């Protein structure tokens, strides 16, 4: 995987990548190359690799999990560990979207279930969305179906979307300290309507912390997009295991 901070003495690596014919790689080599291409944000190559795997008889689900989700996990891990930063992760996520545009209709046709469904939005009064957008991309990269309500989202919009999409998770974001309390408004409304236990609630944003998350009644606070994706997967798995055991 490339490291932009290390200068190259020549252009041999770039020339190699330009000359590389993905169709000549076997399946293992191709998926490994796609992981590298995701890491480097190379959308065109991800689209080409996705089409090649499908042409070789790979299912949409197998291509998603082994080529795209596995590659985005590396991106997420390095983002969490401070090796990658937001601009680089956005490039990787945009490359992932190229592959997803190819796979999404195929997944729908075959009835493949997503890992889970997430409704996310920036709360009412807040128009910041970079962090939320990154969380949405990382969740999709982890195999979730994401419904993004955008910015300035009120309680009725959140609740209507949760019901309409039969969501597993509600994700709320805030960047302003003045809008943070609105998260409690949404959670309290869920309680009032007897629906709080129907959903996992995750909150995030620069001014938030674990203490605030507990105070408003959320299930988890996530400090960044990679942790959000990991937390969402863990909580959905735990919830389903508990339901199966009951």
Mean pLDDT, consecutive 10-residue stretches, the chain (246 aa), reads 42 55 96 97 97 96 92 90 90 92 88 88 94 89 92 98 97 96 98 97 96 97 91 94 87
Does residue 92 contact residue 59 with C-beta atoms inside 8 Å?
A: no
pLDDT at 17: 55
CATH of region 117-245, choose from 3.40.50.2300, 3.40.50.280, 3.40.50.620, 3.30.450.20: 3.40.50.280
Q: Structure pTM?
A: 0.76
**CATH number for region 15-110:** 1.10.1240.10
pLDDT at 140: 87
Does residue 132 contact residue 148 with C-beta atoms inside 8 Å?
A: yes
pLDDT at 95: 94
Please determine whether the domains at 15-110 and 117-245 fall in the same fold group of CATH. Answer: no
pLDDT at 159: 98
pLDDT at 18: 61
Tell me how far apart the alpha carbons of residues 63 and 120 are, in angstroms, rounded to a whole number. Answer: 26
| Sequence ranges of the domains in the chain | 15-110, 117-245
The contacts of residue 19 (CB under 8 Å, 6+ apart) are none
């Amino acid at each position: 995987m490339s490291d932009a901070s290390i200068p190259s003495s020549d252009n041999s690596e770039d020339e190699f990548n330009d000359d590389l014919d993905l169709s000549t790689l076997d399946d293992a080599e191709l998926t490994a190359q796609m992981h590298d291409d995701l890491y480097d944000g190379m959308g065109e190559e991800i689209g080409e690799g996705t089409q090649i795997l499908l042409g070789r008889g790979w299912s949409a689900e197998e291509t998603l999990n082994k080529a795209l989700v596995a590659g985005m996990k590396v991106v997420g891990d390095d983002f969490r560990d401070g090796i990658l930063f937001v601009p680089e992760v956005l490039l990787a996520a945009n490359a992932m979207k190229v592959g997803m545009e190819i796979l999404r209709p195929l997944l729908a046709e075959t009835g493949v279930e997503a890992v889970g469904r997430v409704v996310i939005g920036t709360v009412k009064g807040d128009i910041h969305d970079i962090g939320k957008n990154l969380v949405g991309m990382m969740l999709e990269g982890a195999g979730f179906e994401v419904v993004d309500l955008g910015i300035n989202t009120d309680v009725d919009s959140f609740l209507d979307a949760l019901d309409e999409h039969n969501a597993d998770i509600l994700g709320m974001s805030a960047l302003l300290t003045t809008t943070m309390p609105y998260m409690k408004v949404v959670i309290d409304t869920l309680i009032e309507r007897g629906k709080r236990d129907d959903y996992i609630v995750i909150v995030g944003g620069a001014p938030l912390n674990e203490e605030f998350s507990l105070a408003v009644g959320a299930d988890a606070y996530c400090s960044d997009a990679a942790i959000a994706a990991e937390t969402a997967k863990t909580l959905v798995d735990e919830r389903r295991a508990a339901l199966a055991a009951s």
